[in-house]
Amino acid sequence: MMQRHLGFSEEDLMLNAGRAAFKLLQIQYPAVRKLIVFCGGGNNAGDGYVLARLAHEQGYSVLINQFKPTEQLPPLARKMAERAQQAGVVFLFMEDTIDNDAELIVDALLGIGIQNQVREPLQSAIALINDSGLPVLSLDLPSGLQADTGVILGHCVKASCTITFIGLKTGLMTMDGPDYRGHLFLDDLGGGTCLSQIMPAATLIEEKEVASLLAPRKKNSHKGDFGHVLIIGGGEGMPGSVCLAALAAARTGAGLVTVATKPEHAKRPVTGLPEAMIHGISSIKDILSLIKRASVCVIGPGLGTDDWAVQLFNEVIASQLPMVIDASALRILADHPQHDDNWILTPHPGEAAGLLHCKINDIQSDRFEAVSQLQQQYGGQIILKGLGSLIRTDAAKTYLCAQGNPGMASAGMGDALSGIIAGLIAQKFSLAEAARLGVWLHAAAGDLAAGEEGEKGLLASDIMPFIRLLMNNKIRLGPKIGL
């Protein structure tokens, strides 16, 4: 039981949760004096009863809208409801309107235990909350959100802010969670270092970890110290993909960048990067000489799936260079599955579905299970892109990136990510380090670029200056989660 790990009784945890939520309410909504607390039928409701009692004792006008009779509640939640009644809090039962004087709703309807679709009467209660136009504070997670996967179970409270307890729930960080949680706050309920005994489902990539790994360079350095990235792609009609990957690798700090592409695309320099070398590949002999000189290879941006592409893919796989496999190369891999520990695969949900021969909905319904399956089947490091990008390492650890924004859902962003990761590998980061650092740097650069001029119209090329700033620890984002 969780209380054994934390050294508290279940009652202490519930009281601490209610106190923490009330404290946050006072900080976030200092002008609010009238609130209504929606309480469901489980222990999440118990947290709501504690908050309601504390607010009442502090002179707030409080109504509790109860959706299960007190006598039918679990023992501890029943005890907290009885205390609230004894304190004089006004109770309503399944009220289908909201008092006109209410200034805030506290959502304590459903907690982490929900696995099935939301049914009546809670379905109507959630609709009532969402239609109220009032700010909403959700306790632990918005009611109707699946705590592990972030999938909405039919209906979900749209919170203004959420305070989650003990540890971050993975569902708050991926899929629909970020759209429904509002501002996110965490309280460990006094667990502190005791939480280190609990194996997390995923580890959040933190800015301080990234910064600690990006050490300054030695003064006595030359370009050979920072590796040579080979980028293969740019098939018919898609020369820009390799240009973006090359620019990202260079801005990440790779010493040399070479592009291998269709002969007709090699007649012009890499757009925005005259420092890059470019070679037209018309035969296997051409690519072999480039592979021998490279430290790491990116294959896939704009590659296509024709015979030219398949031949290049096979030669890269045979080389045993560290590899970043993206875009078209993932489709080739899906048709010819194999296992390799020396690569990083970077699928979006559609490409992941192709690799696992399933539907996109199967991937999105449990992204954590999907990234684990991909790693087991294909080996190496797997990056499942999307909101709350996931990294599954060959050490069976899962990392989650909380950075990123919807402006990054645009052409070329995946090419930039591949280039960033390759640039890190070239600088002697391990594949596991490069995967998680690369995802964070890419997403953080996207957030910084969006902060300058907005999310709409954000281009992959817009993030390039921020990659350099982040690599040199010249700029910081600050926390996305309140603590």
List pLDDT tens digits, range 272-306. 788 889 999 988 889 999 999 999 999 999 999 99
Distance, in Å, from the CA atom of 242 to the CA atom of 418, rounded to the nearest integer, reads 10
Residue 267 has pLDDT above 90, yes or no: no
Q: Please report the sign of the dihedral spanned by the C-alpha atoms of residue 176, residue 181, residue 183, residue 187.
A: negative
pLDDT band for position 199 (50/70/90)? low
Over residues 394-404, mean pLDDT:
95
Average pLDDT, the chain: 93
Over residues 163-192, mean pLDDT:
92
Q: Is 389 one of the annotated binding-site residues?
A: yes
Residue 391 has pLDDT above 70, yes or no: yes
Q: Is 116 one of the annotated binding-site residues?
A: yes
Q: Is 339 one of the annotated binding-site residues?
A: no
Place of tokens 């909504």: 29
Q: Is 415 one of the annotated binding-site residues?
A: yes
Q: Is 112 one of the annotated binding-site residues?
A: yes
The confidence score (pLDDT) of residue 272 equals 77
Q: Is 177 one of the annotated binding-site residues?
A: no
Q: Is 44 one of the annotated binding-site residues?
A: yes
Distance, in Å, from the CA atom of 404 to the CA atom of 391, rounded to the nearest integer, reads 14
The confidence score (pLDDT) of residue 369 equals 97
Going from the C-alpha of 218 to that of each of 94, 226, 295, 334, the distances in angstroms are 67, 11, 20, 42
Q: Which helix (H) or strand (E) holds 78?
A: helix 75-87
Over residues 384-399, mean pLDDT:
96
Q: Which of 42-46, 70-74, 194-198, 447-451 has the lowest mean pLDDT?
A: 194-198
User: DSSP readout, 296-330?
Assistant: EEEE-TT--SSHHHHHHHHHHHHHT--EEE-THHH
Q: Is 114 one of the annotated binding-site residues?
A: yes
pLDDT above 90 covers a percentage of the chain that reads 85
pLDDT band for position 260 (50/70/90)? very high
Report whether 349 contacts 361 (CB < 8 A): no
Q: Is 348 one of the annotated binding-site residues?
A: yes
The confidence score (pLDDT) of residue 273 equals 82
**For the chain, which domains are there?**
2-199 (3.40.50.10260), 207-471 (3.40.1190.20)
* Better-predicted residue by pLDDT, 146 or 481: 146
Q: Is 342 one of the annotated binding-site residues?
A: no
In terms of Cβ atoms closer than 10 Å to its own Cβ (0-12, 13-18, 19+), residue 235 is: buried
Backbone angle region of 199, left / alpha / beta, with phi > 0 → left and psi within -120 to 50 → alpha: beta
Q: Is 5 one of the annotated binding-site residues?
A: no
Give the number of other CB atoms < 10 A from CB of residue 365.
15
pLDDT band for position 261 (50/70/90)? very high
Q: Is 386 one of the annotated binding-site residues?
A: yes
The confidence score (pLDDT) of residue 268 equals 72
Q: Is 390 one of the annotated binding-site residues?
A: no
Distance, in Å, from the CA atom of 23 to the CA atom of 342, rounded to the nearest integer, reads 49
Q: Is 124 one of the annotated binding-site residues?
A: no
**Which among 120, 123, 125, 124 is positioned nearest to 36, based on CA atoms?**
125
Residue 187 has pLDDT above 80, yes or no: yes
pLDDT in tens, 50-77: 999 999 999 999 999 999 999 999 999 9
Close Cβ partners of 403 (under 8 Å, ≥ 6 residues apart): 440, 443, 444, 446, 447, 477, 480
pLDDT band for position 195 (50/70/90)? very low
Sheet containing 90-93: give its strands across. 90-93, 61-66, 34-39, 104-108, 136-139, 161-165, 183-187
Q: Is 461 one of the annotated binding-site residues?
A: no
Residue 332 has pLDDT above 60, yes or no: yes
Q: Is 107 one of the annotated binding-site residues?
A: yes
Amino acid sitting at position 92: L
pLDDT in tens, 415-453: 999 999 999 999 999 999 999 999 999 999 999 999 999
**Which among 322, 337, 412, 403 is positioned nearest to 373, based on CA atoms?**
337
Report whether 315 contacts 295 (CB < 8 A): no
Q: Is 140 one of the annotated binding-site residues?
A: yes
Q: Is 446 one of the annotated binding-site residues?
A: no
Residue 269 has pLDDT above 90, yes or no: no
